[in-house]
Amino acid sequence: MGFATRLFRIPRPQTFLYLMSLRTGTELITLSLLLNKISGFYGLLALLTGFHVSPLQLSMYIYSLIALLITVLLASHIRTQSPFHCLALACFYILDSVINAAYTTAFAVTWFLVVSQHHSDANGNKAPGAGGSTIDDTSGFTSPQYNVSHVDVAVAPDQGIPPGGEAITVGQPGFSTTASGPSLGHGVLQPESISSIFTICALWAVRVYFVLVMMSYARLVLRQHLLTVSKSNTSLHTGSKSSSMAENPFAPHMPEGRGWKGKLGRIMVGLGQSYWLGSEEGDEMWMNQAQSLRRREDGTSPVPGVVERERRRRSGTGPPPPMPPLQAGQYLRVQDATDGR
């Protein structure tokens, strides 16, 4: 594999945080996804109390409920290592990440516009952006009654109450150099916005790593399934049209390739065929280690004969190939030569 190929290929982690197996990491990531999607249920409950939500928020809550049901249906197949369900869970996690990125971008842009409105001279106007009115109502600092930069408190004697005093507040108009109207660039440049951007970027870096773990586990399950169903094959690429690609487990002649699941599986594999089925140096060694770990966890033994034949084939210590069968004429010639002696 060339340097450029290694540089631009998708990373394929073999452990989760270098501490746990991919299956354990996938279970933890799926659990975090379930906890995240439950928020959609509580968001819809807020509607019963009369709380106003924007159409963008309502669509996010409805999607969270749908995603919660899909995740519950697929999460139970992580331990059983079903190739279709594990691949579907990985693809759904990728799709959910893209949708969440869109929602995060929309809400972030709206928030920066509201912050810009707070620091500009456009207070009192309607908050811009999708869902801006809801953020404006709940932020707690936008659209103040008086726009002042600081307050001076002066104490004057009061004739009616000799021992006390009277406090007088005088608001000084703010001479700000802010923009006259809300804008995205102005909101991003505010001091409190920089920390928000760093937090969002850090959380999305973790999310990208979670995506890689989910994809790597689904890839491992696909290859383990190929070695399991093809007991007569000793290589992942036996039966494939290309020597650099593993056989598609959802091919029409394969057990997982029947019905609508097979069609959907072929579509999912086709979206990233080079990743799911492409060969890589060290794949078979990794697969053998994963299979050994799985047999120890499940208490099963390997198929007799297949592993031993593969070991002898690789080491070159197998029995010599049998002699080709002799034809009738050849046997007679050998007998005649023996009689002549």
Q: Is the pLDDT of residue 228 over 80?
A: no
Tell me what the mean pLDDT of segment 129-135 comes to.
56
What is the predicted pLDDT for the residue at 169? Answer: 52
Average pLDDT value for residue range 300-319: 60
Encode 226-263 in three state secondary structure.
Answer: HHHHCCCCCCCCCCCCCCCECCCCCCCCCHHHCHHHHH
Share of the chain above pLDDT 90, in %: 32
For residue 57, the model assigns a pLDDT of 87
Please report the pLDDT score of residue 260 as a whole number.
92
First to last CA, the chain: 62
Is residue 2 within 8 Å of residue 281, measured between CB atoms? no
Q: Is the pLDDT of residue 210 over 70?
A: yes
- Per the CB < 8 A criterion, the answer to whether 170 and 151 are in contact is yes
On the question of pLDDT at 112 being above 50, the answer is yes
Residue type, 40: G
Amino acid identity, position 318: G
Confidence (pTM): 0.69
Task: Determine the pLDDT at residue 174.
Answer: 47
Measured distance CA(106)–CA(125) in Å, rounded? 20
% of residues, the chain, pLDDT over 70: 57
Tokens for 198?
Answer: 């760093």
pLDDT band at 55 (very low <50, low <70, confident <90, very high): confident
Most confident range, picked from 9-18, 224-233, 234-243, 322-331: 9-18
The residue type of 213 is V
Structural contact between residues 268 and 278, judged by C-beta atoms closer than 8 angstroms: no
Q: How confident is the model over 236-248, as a mean pLDDT?
A: 64
CA 255 to chain CA mean position, Å: 27
CA angle 8, 222, 12 (to 5 degrees): 25
pLDDT in tens, 280-291: 655 556 555 555
Element (H, E) at 155: strand 148-157
- The residue-averaged pLDDT of 154-161 equals 55
User: What is the pLDDT of the chain when averaged over all its residues?
Assistant: 75
List Cα–Cα distances, 108 to 18, 130, 189, 191, 221, in angstroms.
33, 10, 13, 15, 37
Return the pLDDT at 110: 83
Which of 119-128, 133-142, 214-223 has the highest mean predicted lDDT (pLDDT)? 214-223
Amino acid letter for position 127: A
